[in-house]
A and B are shown apart, each in its own frame.
Chain A
Amino acid sequence: MPGSTPAAVSSTNRPRRRFASSVSAAGIAAVVAAVSLALLWLALRLAGFDATLALGALWRGSFGNWYALTSSTLVRATPLVLTGLAVAIAFRAGVWNIGADGQLLVGAALATAIGLSWGDGLGWAALPIALIAGAVGGACWAGVAAVLRTRFGVLEVISTIMLNFVALDLVGYLVRGPLQEPSHAYPQSNPIPPRMHLPFLIPGTRLHWGFALGVAAAVILWWAMRSTAAGFRVRAIGANADAARIAGRIDVARTTTNVLLVSGALAGLAGAIEVSGVTYALYENISPGYGYTAIAVALLAGLDPLGVLGTGVVFGALEAGALSMQREASVPSVVVTAVEAALVLLLLAMSRRGATAGVIGRFAGVRLASREDAS
């Protein structure tokens, strides 16, 4: 898979690599799209569906016209890009944040809570405050995992999964309790005040400014990972935590904490953006598992932020197209989940060349065991 072996820690050949990275983002997206279409076609044929009809519907629902592209694909891609970035930066540091879904939920909940409590009194600041609240909420949720990891030696794989369920219960409680709409008929919150809505990016479509924020986040992260000391520390502890600590005098615990906070903030921002750009209220099922799909988004992008932009849009298109495939060709939309998973397995199979080759190999199976730093 071209582009699936970006630089690890080395910073030589910088100009060429910069160029390569922006090309690889498009390249990765194209390859992922092509392979997923092939897999989907195969699955449809095997299950006995009319593959031509179904793929036609997939196209019409995703890229087929201007409205589908902007109002379905890119809207759906927005949370996938942001949570994909959250996962990518964490995995790059060898930190297993499986909890983007929970961080997204807490971000959405905090943004909604603040919007409903003070939204009207904040004036123009309501929207930025809501978005910041989302990021802070997500960061706090990930911060719990960071404290557990660095002070108590609790593996973040386990703690972030646990925290996903706690977040789900928390939102379930909020939309049936303190934040429930006044008639108490539905498990959802009141609509947020209109001044908290994200403006539309393109008039006449449902595409909101959240997508632009996602693109900006990807570019900033791409630059920061490559060109800043913090980005170097992240890549260094991801490549070899012991070497980074001993030879590089890098504070592994602090870097781990910072990475988790940034990762959680990105996922929390995704939650706030869903509320203020798409749903305008808090729902229990506001995330159809974005945080889990994000793992596939990040991995297939080779953990490269610009690549995440590409794979995020491809996955957004797949999921948007799947809905129209279900409507027009009666193909269950959940089939694309299987396709996404098959893509990841394919990547794993292709990047198995011993324990050190390939993107996956670089952090394969090392972190869980070797970073017992606190205990």
Chain B
Amino acid sequence: MTAALTSFLEASVRTATPLALAALGELVVERAGVINIGLEGIVLGGAFGALLGAGSHHISLGFAAGCLAGIVVAGLFGVFAVAMRADQIITGTAINLLVLGLTGALYRGLYGATGAALTVPTTGSVAVPLLSRIPVLGPTFFDQPPPTYFVYVVAPVLWWLLYRTHAGLAIRAIGERLESARVSGVHVPRWRWITLLIGGALGGVAGSTLVLSQSGTFAEGMSAGRGFIAIAIVVLGRWRPMGVLIASLLFGAASALQFLFQAMGWSVPYQLFLALPYVLTLLALAGFAGRRIKAPAALGRAG
């Protein structure tokens, strides 16, 4: 039973890792009042970039290329949504379709019409000395692929950035009181660009994780809604880094439950668990109504 529990928890954290990375990036973006629906495309672009990078040279280049691809896609979003002040929802939707089409076509163009599976090496898990020996929690949190440890670093750094620096104050001010921020001399487009590129980088790493730490290959549309899930996670995590981590774990656990149930041969429809996080997000959102905690007030508004 402990073994089953351990492997379930380990799978939860593994599944949660790319979600947490993408969601932490989106969190920063949304705090600056931008809702980037194009996150789905960023994750997919990151996955494709990781394949190109790792396939051409080495796994570390894969992460760099994935990260860069995420930044490029986020930059394209920024050109429209920040520089041109175009509508964020429409831009994001178009970016998603664009990346889906481009990566699908390029993948088949580069690796043959069949799109036959091209595999790249994966990172595998790296056990942290001592910590990974703790029963249950050790293997769960400290015997994971490197991107998981990256999350442990990024989350507190982002918290510090948002709540303990002038930059964070400017970002949050834009998200909450756009006009006041502008009047008090905050350069709205500049901060929105910075947050977008941070979000793109993290989303790109999230996509890289899918390829380089999980599947070892690319498939058309392989982000499979993870960018959208990350947006839900930001909402469920109440726009806070720690909340986002917990919400990611919840989504990861819900996905991992299906494997657990399949392994156990239990006949509860696994779609129930797949749908559960979305339903929870909706309920949580409805529960926030009238409370102190709500979306950044300027979310979605052109700067």
Contact = CB atoms under 8 A, between A and B. Distances in A.
A155 B234 CA distance: 14
A1 interface: no
A158 B269 CA distance: 25
Task: Kindly state the interface size class of chain A when it binds its partner.
Answer: 35 or more
B148 interface: no
B196 to A, nearest CB: 15
Interface stretch (A16-24, A113-121, A228-236, A342-350): A342-350
Contacts of B289: 151-154, 374-375
Contacts of B96: 292, 341
A169 B274 contact: yes
A148 B282 contact: yes
B interface, over-half SS: helix
Interface stretch (A65-73, A132-140, A361-369): A361-369
A85 to B, nearest CB: 17
B95 to A, nearest CB: 7
Interface string B266-303: 00010110110011011001101110001101111110
B37 interface: yes
A369 B301 contact: yes
A363 B97 contact: no
Interface stretch (A212-220, A243-251, A332-340): A332-340
A334 B101 contact: yes
A47 B299 CA distance: 38
Given A162-B278, A355-B85, A365-B300, A98 B93 contact: yes
A47 B84 contact: no
Interface stretch (A170-178, A200-208, A252-260, A262-270): A170-178
A interface, over-half SS: helix
B5 interface: no
Contacts of B88: 365, 368
Given A170-B271, A334-B100, A368-B89, A154 B108 contact: no
16 contacts: A43-B105, A148-B282, A153-B289, A154-B282, A155-B295, A157-B37, A158-B235, A164-B228, A166-B279, A170-B275, A296-B94, A332-B108, A341-B100, A364-B302, A374-B289, A375-B288
Interface of B: 35, 37, 80, 84-91, 93-98, 100-102, 104-109, 113, 115, 220, 225, 228-229, 231-232, 235, 269, 271-272, 274-275, 278-279, 281-282, 285-286, 288-290, 294-295, 297-302
Interface of A: 43, 47-49, 96, 98, 144, 148, 151-155, 157-159, 161-166, 169-170, 172-173, 176-177, 292-293, 295-296, 299, 330-332, 334-342, 344-345, 348-349, 351-352, 355, 360, 363-369, 374-375
